[in-house]
Amino acid sequence: MARRSAGGAATADIPTLSEEAGIRYLHLGSEWIQGAMRIGRPSELVLAYTQQMMAWLLFLAPRARDQVGILGLGAGSLLRFTLAHTPARVRTVEYNPMVTAMCRAFFRLPGAARSAIDHEDALEWVARPEQADRYRALMVDLYDSQARGPVCDSLSFYQDCHRALADTGGIMTVNLFGRHESYARNIRHISEAFGGRVLGLPEVDEGNLVVLAFKGPPLEVGRQALLDRASDLERTCGLPCTRWARALLAEGGGNASGHVRI
């Protein structure tokens, strides 16, 4: 979470939680869900859109020396999953330290040596020169208490995200809200910042729509190679990767039997 007021000053919402059917939910002063954790399986990604935020794994196999960035801690779902299923180091940006405290107390936030959390405004953090060329993957999930549209959606923000990704190849995933007026603006700015190298996954949940944006050398992945990778991830990570791969093949290749070219 990184909320900014109309005047540009950051404000903090007090996090609360609720539980139902073995799932614990994070809220920020409203009924909107900011994150979720299955109490019995904390590393599982409960919400469909958080699963899709990991779709970069279809194209990248992170190594121990790689860094993954997460903008917006939420209930710590993406952090827990990334640490459990990859060897990468993870740096998370969360403006509100109360959210981090809530995650430590109630959402089993990992204290792993591979994890670091910066309590900063994501807009300012990603613009810092030292962030350039550092991250193999960047997952952007920045919503305020109303959870209707991203709080950071300018062209300069997405240009900074592009700069933060590794020059040798990196992928950003962004959680957008397809039914919000900000959607077209976000797509336009992401496409401009990433030179049109953008793919979208099917809409899930209550209108969430995850977009992938690519940096680095041109990428072409054959149909069978992508489906094989999806099958491996589905088996090891429990994500519905085959469904995503087929959707990306349809979009990236123009038909279900094509390649993904991006």
Predicted confidence (pLDDT) per residue in 199-218, tens digit: 999 999 778 999 999 999 99
Domain spans, the chain: 15-217
Kindly state the average pLDDT of the residues 132-139.
98
Q: Which residues of 103-121 are buried (b: 16+ CB within 10 A; e: fewer)?
A: beebbbbbeeebbebeeeb
pLDDT at 47: 95
151 or 86, which is more confident: 86
- Please give the mean pLDDT across all residues of the chain: 90
Span 15-217 CATH architecture? 3-Layer(aba) Sandwich (3.40)
pLDDT for 71 beyond 90: yes
Tokens 């000053």 sit at which residue? 9
With cut-offs at 50, 70 and 90, classify the pLDDT of residue 198: very high
Kindly state the average pLDDT of the residues 28-51.
93
Kindly state the average pLDDT of the residues 131-157.
87
pLDDT for 149 beyond 60: yes
pLDDT at 8: 31
User: Percentage of the chain surpassing pLDDT 90?
Assistant: 78
pLDDT for 178 beyond 50: yes
Kindly state the average pLDDT of the residues 27-38.
89
